[in-house]
Amino acid sequence: MLLKVDGVSRHFGGLIALDDVSLTAEEGKITGLIGPNGSGKTTLAHIISGFLKPSSGRVWFDGSAVEGLDPYKIARRGLCRTFQITLNPQRMTVMENMLLGARQQLGERVLMAALHPKAVRSEEQRNMERAWHLLEMVKLHDHANELAGGLSGGQKKLLALVQVLMAHPKLILLDEPVAGVNPRLIDDIVDVIKKLRTDGETFLIIEHNMSVIRELCDTVCVLDMGHVLAEGSVETVLAREDVLRAYIATGGQLDDAVQASTPAAVSAPQGRA
């Protein structure tokens, strides 16, 4: 397994955000991480990517333990992520944002830039060509010289995704890649992820849109109140009554496409909204 989360727990004072959570992500596959609001998805994403340390448990990536490492060290190992709210510098151009994603560039070191200017220029040219190719893939090349702040919400999500690809990641963690996106652009984002998966990319996707989860994911893990409630194929997991109850009890909704595939509607347990 490319990614293995083994018995991870995280406490915030007396609050147990995660309790003995385990999951895996297989190379070349798309794994979904879903659950009601407050189930622990974001906490787990922060632990996997190094923004939080677990109270206990291990995180293995590409054969090495990475729990507790700084985020930039985990990213250098090839585990890169996006965020629900895009963090691209708004006053830099789209192309400049792309070039920021290329890691460990020769020109970042003053001595290297001074002693080996040809090598630096050659690398810059390669990065520019790759950035342009990726922008073409997501139909943002016409905006390359525009400020990133002028993009729509969906375009910013696409920019964040292809910026991550500049680092040649081994696994991409996407945090709600279609949240707040115009429905007309959701299909574009889904199509890009499908193409990348065909090209061999590996994804761990946190998403509330169950239609997107159904269309993209090979397997899915459901968190509820900090515990793993279910794990397995998308069709099997989303048909489970306990998964439906978890969403209904917290006021969450499964979309029509998912509800239509389930055997019957499930009522919320007594005493829960």
Q: Same structural domain for residues 99 and 163?
A: yes
Q: What total of structural domains would you count in the chain? A: 2
Q: Same structural domain for residues 163 and 174?
A: no
Please give the model's pTM, rounded to 2 decimal places: 0.84
- pLDDT for 87 equals 83
Q: Same structural domain for residues 147 and 226?
A: no
> Among 51, 97, 40, 70, which residue's Cα sits nearest to residue 227?
40
Q: What is the pLDDT of residues 8-61, one digit of tens each?
A: 999 999 999 999 999 999 999 999 999 998 999 999 999 999 999 999 999 999
Q: What is the CATH number of the domain that holds 226?
A: 3.40.50.300
Q: Same structural domain for residues 113 and 221?
A: no
Taking each continuous run of H as one helix and of E as one strand, the counts in the chain are: 11, 10
Q: What is the pLDDT of residues 243-271, one digit of tens each?
A: 988 876 655 555 443 444 443 333 333 33
- pLDDT for 260 equals 40
Does 270 map to a domain? Answer: no
- Which residues form the domain of 220? 1-78+170-182+202-262
Amino acid identity of residue 105, one-letter, is: Q
- pLDDT for 109 equals 58
Q: Same structural domain for residues 69 and 104?
A: no
Q: What is the pLDDT of residues 181-239, one digit of tens each?
A: 988 899 999 999 999 999 999 999 999 999 999 999 999 999 999 999 999 999 999 99
**SS3 string of 220-257?**
EEEEECCEEEEEEEHHHHHCCHHHHHHHHHCCCCCCHH
